[in-house]
Structure formats: structure tokens, C-alpha cells
Amino acid sequence: MAVMGREWLADAVLYEIYPQSFADSNGDGVGDLRGVIDKLDHIASLGVNVIWFNPCFASPFVDAGYDVSDYLTIAPRYGTNEDMAELVVKARERGIRILLDLVAGHTSIEHPWFQKELNADGPDPEGDRYIWAEERPERTWTREQPGTPAWVPSPGPRPGYYLKNFYDEQPALNFGWVDRAEPATDEVPLQDETDRPEDVRIARPWRDPVDGPGPRRNRQALKDIIGHWLDLGVAGFRVDMAFSLVKDEELTRGYAETVELWREIREWLEADHPDAVLIPEGGEPRVGGPLAFDADFFLVIKDAHASLFNNQYAGRLPFQAPREAFFDAEGRGSTRPFLDAWAEARADHPDRSIILATADHDFDRLRCGPREPEQLGAALIFLFTWGSVPCLYYGDEIGMRYLPGLPNVEGSICDPGYNRAGCRTPMQWDDSPNAGFSTAEASKLYLPIDPEPDRPTVAAQQDDPESTLNFVRRLIALRQATPALGTRASTRVVSEGYPLAYVRGGTHLVVVNPRREPATLAFDVEAPVWASGVEVRPGELRVDGFGYGIFTVPA
């Protein structure tokens, strides 16, 4: 029986596709939707039931599609709107829903909205969709980074500056600012935000209120965009920059205004599209009242996920502290940051879905640096049995590795120590040229193929019962057949170190030892459901390095 409403997300297993790199059907070196359609049987064979696409909309691709020039049109490099409609239908035939990525906070400078305002001589009478200032403010937004000013000089007839979100080519959409300004003048020197007393208020004429005409136009635009694709059959959206829409909120109200914006959209969805889900980039701020999104997302680059898997072989962002990952051979990490974040996210919402990914398009993969395939089993067992909604990043089902030292392609190097290209390389299908990704010349590929002769491929692992591919297939099948391993069952941690061990649903013990050295656990178990490298002794389990097991436990 089909699950009604949005409850289907609790039973989801997501599969993230970076469309440029999945499958190229027309030989131009870039992946496309027709390529995905051709590979739907592979995706279905994994047991996943949701595909999440990174942005597919028209774009100049300064930031790999996160700079949208037309929200209602599929980028020609990927195909057409009709291709997306066909993909939705054919995926549904296989029990798979489609989620799209919605870039809510900014557009491309090539978007007609921006071009209209850029070529005007002043504010739009209907309300500006972007944030403009006649004079460059000294400092206005705490996200501004040294050397990368947030205000960009207007490159067109309109005088002044516009506020960007990330790259200069990504002007911030105007959803308003929190009300911190009186009187409405520009005479008080702006102080350091962190040192300002709460009763000191600075005014700037470009700070529209959240209910101003420009912000209201943009709220309606979000509904129009979402509704357009839901009418075509997609199941929902993962929302990029979901909680950075209203500016300066982190200094005042804890994102209450942005959450209220999404609550308004949720109310509209409840009436018009009750089955549609919204998933944020990151965790939804808890500001009291109902939650607008259907899950939290523990991102790869954030501490909760990074403390488990990211030992920074792929580099480190400025805000990331040096860290030893728990799932690493040396065994110097800790699960405490993850467990604390999990407890906080579910404190007042014990049934809240939390998405935990193997990797994603923004950093590294499970297999990076010196990590070898033998280390993947423990990590995958954890990710698919902890009780989160799992998200499998394309290629992780065969153990594709992060490739260091790649060129800057479509904004992949956004910090000198942070290269995203290494996790965006083409999917490795077989041992034909370009690993079966494309018939184009190697020099025309979106990114290079892993050059190692023993690189993993789908074809090589397809019929190997010991392969990572078939490991993932069996693991997802076990999860779906065993309610105690899903999201609705309880999780009780019995060991948070090496080994990590937890009881699911009161009936199953999961134990994983991601370090090289063996570990022991004092615990009574019954029959093994699935185990590798675990010796059962009276009242004790001895777990080899990189060992794991799932056992039934006495009632």
C-alpha cells in the first residue's frame, strides 16, 4: 500500500546524482537526463527509491548550476523539460521519486530579473528583487569574507552596488532584512557586529523589511517555481541556502523570519501539494512553533558528519578545525560531536527524519586519501542502520575515490584548500574508453576519469558477490525488510567508542569497528544477521579491525 502524505520520506533511501557526471548519452562529454533514463535500471537495482538531482536548470555554470538563469527551463546541456517529464514517469514506474535542487537565495547575473534591474536607472517600482545600495556599505553582513567583499560594483547602467551571496555572479535575492534600524538614515558609522550593544541600531535605506514589495515578489516566485515542477511530477525539493534568505538574522532573531517564510510556503503546499517534501541544506533552526521542512540534513562539510568521516584528506575549509575522523584506520576520532548533534536535533522532535549521506557534491567521498575498499563496509553498515534517512552519493555504491589535484571546473575551487572537483568525477560504468561515461574524446570530458587501471566499475562488480556494489544492494534490501533498522525504530547506544555499537528497535545489535586494531564489546547476542570479522564469545564480541556485524539480541 502506498504511503500517503509526506510520510514516504521516512522510508526513503536517496541517491544523489551530480548530472554533469553521471551518464552522457549524446557524446558531448557532459552527463544529461537521457543518460540517467538509460541507467534507471542500475539505480533501481540498488533498492533506492528517491533520486536527488543537483541543479538542472538553465545556467551559465559559473558555480556548476548553482547560478540559475531560468528556474523553469532545464539546462540545454541536460536536455529539455520533456526529458525531465519522461524521467519522472519512467522513474515512477520503478518506484523511484525525483527531488530537484532549488537555489533559493540567489540567481545568476544572467537571469532576466537581474538584467532588468541592472539596466534600470533606479529601484523597480514593483519592488527590487535584488539588494542594491547607491554607495558601497562599509560592512553589512557578517558572512562577508576578507578579500571577497559582499558588495559588487554594478556592471551596468544602474548606479551603485549589489549584494552577492557567493561568487560575484550570484546576486542575492531580496527577502528583506530583520528590523534593526531607526531612524532611517545612513549617518551612523557601522560598527563591528560582534561588539555592538543590542540597543544600538544602524539604518540603511537598502534594508527592505521582510514584508516589502520586493521580498513579497520573491516569496511568490518561490511558490511559482516549486509549483511548476511539482505539476510536472517531481516529489519535492532540496533547498540550497534555505536559511540565509533574510539577511542579518543570525545576529538577532535566530532565523525566525526565514523560518516564517518557509512556513508560509509549507501552508501553501499543504493545500495544493500535500505529498511534496522540502529538505533544507543543513538543519532547520528551532525557533518555536511548527517545523516547515520534512527533515534535517547533516551535511558532509559540517561538524556532525565531518566528525565521523572527513579526516580532511581532501582539504579543509577555513571554518573547519583540524579533526581526526572516527571512521578512520588510526582510531583517534570520536562519535561525541555526532551524537550530541543528533540528540539536539531530535530533542523536541523525537520522530524527526535526519538525512545522513555517504558523501556529496561539495567535498570528499567515503573513499579518499589512503582509505581502501576494506574500510567501506563498516561505514556503510553504520550509514544504513543508524536510523537516519540514508543518501547514497553516485559512485559510492562501487567505492569510487576522491581524486586530488583536479583543475578548477565550474567554480569547484572556491577556496585554495577546498577543491570540490575530486568528488564530481564521471561515473565509472565499465572498462571501455572513458569508463563508459561518454563517447567523447577524453579531453572534452566534464572532468577526467580516475586514471588508475584498477578503478572500480559497475560492470566489474555486477556479478561479484563480494563487491561493494552487491554489498550495498544487500544492505539496502536488509534495511527495507527489517523495520528495526529503519527510521521509525528506537536507537540505544551501548558503546560510543571503538567499537561503536547500538541496539535498534530493541531487537538488533549493530556493531562496527572502523579502526585497524581489534576491539571488544561486552554484550550477549543471539543469531548473526550479517557479520564480517566478528567472533562471538560468551557475553562478549571480538571485532576485528574494519569488522562489523548485525545480530538479533535476547528479548
The pLDDT of residue 201 is 43
Report, at the CATH architecture level, how domain 490-552 is classified. Answer: Sandwich (2.60)
Span 331-346, pLDDT tens digits = 999 999 999 999 999 9
Reported as a pLDDT band with limits 50, 70 and 90, residue 315 is confident
Q: 478-494, pLDDT tens digit by residue?
A: 999 999 999 999 999 99
CB within 8 A of 406, min separation 6: which ones? Answer: 412, 419, 421, 422, 425, 447, 448
Task: Sort strands 97-103 and 70-74 into parallel, antiparallel or unpaired.
Answer: unpaired
Q: How confident is the model at residue 186 (pLDDT cuts 50, 70, 90)?
A: very low
Q: How confident is the model at residue 203 (pLDDT cuts 50, 70, 90)?
A: low
For 185-189, the CB contacts below 8 A with 24+ separation are 186/135, 189/138
Q: What is the pLDDT of residues 376-423, one digit of tens each?
A: 999 999 999 999 999 999 999 999 999 999 999 999 998 887 899 999
Nearest to 127 by CA among 161, 174, 169: 174
Do residues 402 and 368 touch, judged by C-beta distance below 8 A? yes
Cα–Cα distances in Å, from 135 out to 151, 314, 411?
Answer: 10, 40, 29
Q: What is the DSSP string of 310-357?
A: --STTB--TTPPP---SSSTT----SHHHHHHHHHHHSS-TT--EEEE
Going from N- to C-terminal start, the domains of the chain cover 7-103+295-480, 490-552
Q: Is there a common fold for 7-103+295-480 and 490-552?
A: no
pLDDT in tens, 503-536: 999 999 999 999 999 999 999 999 999 999 999 9
Give pLDDT tens digits for 205-250: 889 999 999 999 999 999 999 999 999 999 999 999 899 999 988 7
C-alpha to C-alpha distance for 108 and 115, rounded to whole angstroms: 10
The grid coordinates of residue 39 equal: 541507467
Mean per-residue pLDDT, 21-50: 98
3-class SS at 99? Answer: strand
Q: By 3-state DSSP, what share of the chain in percent is helix, strand and coil, each rounded to 5? A: 25, 20, 55
The CATH number assigned to the domain with range 7-103+295-480 reads 3.20.20.80
Return mean pLDDT, the chain.
92
For residue 243, give the 3-state DSSP assignment. Answer: coil
Residue 188: its pLDDT value, please? 35
Q: Among 313-322, 368-377, 379-388, which stretch is predicted with the lowest mean pLDDT?
A: 313-322
CA 92 to centroid of chain Cα atoms: 22
Closest-CA residue to 68 (of 227, 268, 222, 231): 222
Helix (H) or strand (E) holding 101: strand 97-103
- With 0.85 as the threshold, say if the pTM is over it: yes
pLDDT tens for 118-127 read 999 999 999 9
